[in-house]
Amino acid sequence: MARSSKESVATPSSGSSSGGRTLRRAALIALALATGLSGWLAVQGAGSGSVPGCDAGDCAAVLASKWSKVFGVPVGLFGAATYVILAVLGARPFGPGQWRVRVAGAALAILIPTAAVWFGFLQAFVLRAFCPWCTATHAVATTGAILMALAWRREGRGAGTAGTTGRKGRRETAEAARGVWGPAFACAAVAMGGWMGVQALSPEPPPARIVTASMGTTSGGGTNAGPVADPSPGGESAAVPAPGVERGDAEAGSGGRTVAAGRLRLHQGRFDLDARELPLVGSPEAPYLAVMISDYSCRYCRNAHRTLHDVWEGLGTDRLGLFMLPSYGSAESREIQRMMLATWRVDRDLWRSVADDLYGERTTLHPTAVRSVLSQRLGADRLQAALVEHEGWITWLFELTREIHAANRAVTQRGNIPQFIIGQEIVVGAPADAQEFFRLFASHLGLVRERIPELRLGTEVVDLGRAFAGTQRPVTISFTNPGQAPLMVQRVSLPAGGRVLRGLRTPVPPGGAGLLDLMLVMPRDEGEFEETLTIHSDARVPSVPVRVTGRSWKPLTITPPILDLGRVDPQQSATQGVMRLSFAEDVGVVSVHPQTPGFTARLNEVLPGREYDVEVGTDRALGTGLQQTALFVQLQTPVPEGWPESLALAARVLVERAVTVVPPRVVVPGGMLATDRHHQVLVRCLDGMPDFAITGAVLEGGPVFTQPQVQRGGGTNSYVVQMTLPSGWSLPPAPLGARLVIETNHPKYPSIDVPLVAQGI
């Protein structure tokens, strides 16, 4: 009978434990799969290969965007590391006293699905592109995180009854496990908020490179190009020769110059394009023809199309015709292409106008919005009739584009878009600016501008003289355009920390003048310096360097450079540290104030005009955890020549109670207990008090039962308080309640209350 009774008590625990193990195994499998996918995508992002299933450009837009990297590291590596850590933390059930490990695991279990939601938001509303592999990775990882959380919950339930078997490893109850979710949510919120902030403030990725190769070679030199629609962020564009590109009756290798009207043959005559029968921007009678494979929903296709407007202004639409071959990466983009192709068959001017609006993002990239625009301007009945009448031609053109795309891929080993065929070159990716297109058309098609702008600098050297180290200095660079066409400055390559304030993409007419307003950051090390910035434009010489010289000067010593206050107790508000400012010149300090609430700062003058002490402290308004602040020091005006009007100092502190209790409250069922339940509370002293001890522990409230037991914990200055709630016990109603009172010999925490609360409160 005793055995039967024991089995009846142990059975729920065994079932819960078994179910928890099953869920854990499934979670570990999902996390392992997510780790593999994430790592593979990170490798693709660091390399230049195509991602299967992403040929239409959406993966390119996602993986080449600034959101794909943090501090230059692919986010896939951060994701893989997160999945591995969660798998390691959850590989085994948690033991007694592992509250912090529980919080870390729970925070990761919350963080992973939250990151998936954030990634979905970026795809839908920021990038407007869909990466199926990235989304699948997040879905699998989210599944693993949820399964792991369910495993912990199942094992927590089993632990509540397993305590009756006498096994110490299962005495931690489900209620103790539930106590981790509040802190875990807080940790996950802080981590996710920081992650989102870092991503939002990250700069756009630097220009990639277009790689060119002559017929029969596999690699070659390159020039700077902008963001490309490569399936990997920061990947390379490819420009390699298309075999046997011909223009009409021209010889292969003639550069595609017109010798026959309106026909272009590709891949040694395999494809024959007629400028009067296929969508084309420019004139069908243009002496030069090229090809673009694009998708309205592809971010880099849109960028390239906008840049081509500047190209046509320089070359003339009567000299260059561009076949617009349709690609699509989703059902929505295919439907947009269908409606636009049907429109081209009946009204080519309207097609050109709406296409410009789509590429310029003046019309929403959704089939419903496009249909609404076309129905208003073309007529709903006429649009529907065109779709029905020309369905066969549209299907044929889709198939033709796929075949040309496949032939290009066989040569380039790349499948992403946009793609261009210019003369005998296949160019995969979006060139950075109009100047790059001009180079491609001149080199591979023999098409050059008849009127070319020039950029002449007002000065080739900017001398900043004496500059205060680490501060920002505004710089203005003047230039003129002695050329025959409007000049456009596309971008400026700047030293670290610099930024362009004004002057980009502002047309400067022939004979006109322009200004570039820049903000440069001075080197932090003292001494002479020389740096170079480069102005990139559509001028005859596309890249013009400008030397920036000066002497970085630091007439100030800050001791220590960063004030670390160490660990402080939330109840402590006295001054914790001092920073000394020593000036090499007479400088008056007016005030100092901290940026973060909870920090205090007081200024003491040590030597008038030369030395000051800044006393930094904390008060109870400061939150817990690692806290940092900037301390702004306002100088007396007018400041000496070359000095800034204010200085920024830095301080940090770890705010943590000298005595911590985990969990901070004990969660118990709201009704009468059917079996004994066991609870543990871990008490730790963190301020190094050598003789810290718990002098007593009493449970107040409820019926009389065995009082809590105190024993040494596993670490230094740590104790475990164990208590048993017997069957039949119930939590007294409010306002009486119950609490565990822990008495210590710590002068600041002689008594610590741990409330017992009903589940769900």
- Alpha carbon 170 to its chain centroid, in Å, reads 41
Q: How many CB atoms lie within 10 A of CB 192?
A: 17
Is residue 434 within 8 A of residue 538, CB to CB? The reply is yes
CATH code for the domain in which residue 388 is found? 3.40.30.10
Q: Rounded distance, CA 450 to CA 287, Å?
A: 14
Same domain for 640 and 565, yes or no, is yes
Instruction: Flag whether 185 is in a domain.
Output: yes
The strand ranges marked E within 509-645 are: 513-521, 527-537, 543-553, 556-559, 562-568, 575-583, 589-594, 599-607, 611-618, 625-635
Q: Which of 507, 527, 549 is the last residue of a domain?
A: 549
**Residues for the chain: how many in total?**
761
Same domain for 671 and 637, yes or no, is no
Is residue 731 within 8 A of residue 738, CB to CB? The reply is yes
Domain range enclosing 238: 209-445
Tokens 């039949």 belong to which residue?
728
Both structure tokens of 351: 């097609």
Q: Rounded distance, CA 686 to CA 718, Å?
A: 9
The full DSSP string for 295-355 is -TT-HHHHHHHHHHHHHHHHH-TTTEEEEEEE--SSHHHHHHHHHHHHHHHH-HHHHHHHH
Same domain for 258 and 397, yes or no, is yes
Same domain for 26 and 91, yes or no, is yes
- pLDDT attached to residue 210: 46
- pLDDT attached to residue 96: 60
Q: Rounded distance, CA 237 to CA 518, Å?
A: 30
Residues forming a β-bridge with 630: 650
- Strand 288-294 to 320-326 pairing: parallel
Q: Which of 633, 655, 677 is the last residue of a domain?
A: 655
Both structure tokens of 271: 């494809």
Residues forming a β-bridge with 288: 257, 320
- pLDDT attached to residue 316: 79
CATH code for the domain in which residue 602 is found? 2.60.40.10
Exposure string for 349-373, b = 16+ CB within 10 A, e = fewer? ebbbebbeebbeeebebebeebbeb
CATH code for the domain in which residue 733 is found? 2.60.40
Instruction: Flag whether 599 is in a domain.
Output: yes
DSSP structural state of residue 436: H
Q: Rounded distance, CA 277 to CA 274, Å?
A: 5
- Most distant pair of Cα atoms in the chain: their distance: 106
* pTM score of the predicted model: 0.52
Same domain for 733 and 636, yes or no, is no
- pLDDT attached to residue 688: 80
Same domain for 718 and 645, yes or no, is no
- Strand 499-502 to 222-224 pairing: unpaired
Q: Under the phi-then-psi rule, with left for phi > 0, alpha for psi from -120 to 50, and beta for the rest, what region is 511? A: left
Number of domains comprising the chain: 5
Q: What is the mean pLDDT of each run of 10 residues along the chain (761 residues)?
A: 39 54 90 89 60 53 73 85 91 72 89 92 76 88 92 65 42 51 85 85 56 33 30 38 42 40 85 92 90 90 88 84 90 93 96 94 93 95 96 95 88 83 88 87 88 93 89 93 92 91 92 95 90 92 93 91 86 78 91 91 93 90 85 91 88 88 86 86 86 89 68 79 86 82 90 84 45
Instruction: Flag whether 451 is in a domain.
Output: no
- pLDDT attached to residue 5: 39
Residue type, 94: F
Q: Hey, is 234 helix, strand or coil? A: coil
Instruction: Flag whether 257 is in a domain.
Output: yes
Same domain for 84 and 13, yes or no, is yes
Same domain for 463 and 436, yes or no, is no
Instruction: Flag whether 450 is in a domain.
Output: no
Q: How many CB atoms lie within 10 A of CB 489?
A: 24
Same domain for 359 and 320, yes or no, is yes
- pLDDT attached to residue 100: 80
Both structure tokens of 337: 């292409």
Q: Rounded distance, CA 659 to CA 714, Å?
A: 16
- pLDDT attached to residue 461: 95
Q: Hey, is 134 helix, strand or coil? A: helix
Residue type, 167: R
Burial class (CB in 10 A: 0-12, 13-18, 19+), 182: middle
Is residue 22 within 8 A of residue 97, CB to CB? The reply is no
- pLDDT attached to residue 371: 96
Alpha helix (H) ranges present in 380-497?
Answer: 380-389, 391-412, 434-445
Q: Rounded distance, CA 107 to CA 385, Å?
A: 56
Same domain for 508 and 522, yes or no, is yes
Q: Which of 182, 201, 220 is the last residue of a domain?
A: 201
Q: Rounded distance, CA 13 to CA 629, Å?
A: 50
Same domain for 197 and 290, yes or no, is no
- pLDDT attached to residue 52: 55
Both structure tokens of 32: 């392992």
Inter-CA distances, 408 with 117, 401, 405, 725, Å:
36, 10, 5, 74
Same domain for 189 and 218, yes or no, is no
CATH code for the domain in which residue 191 is found? 1.20.1440.130
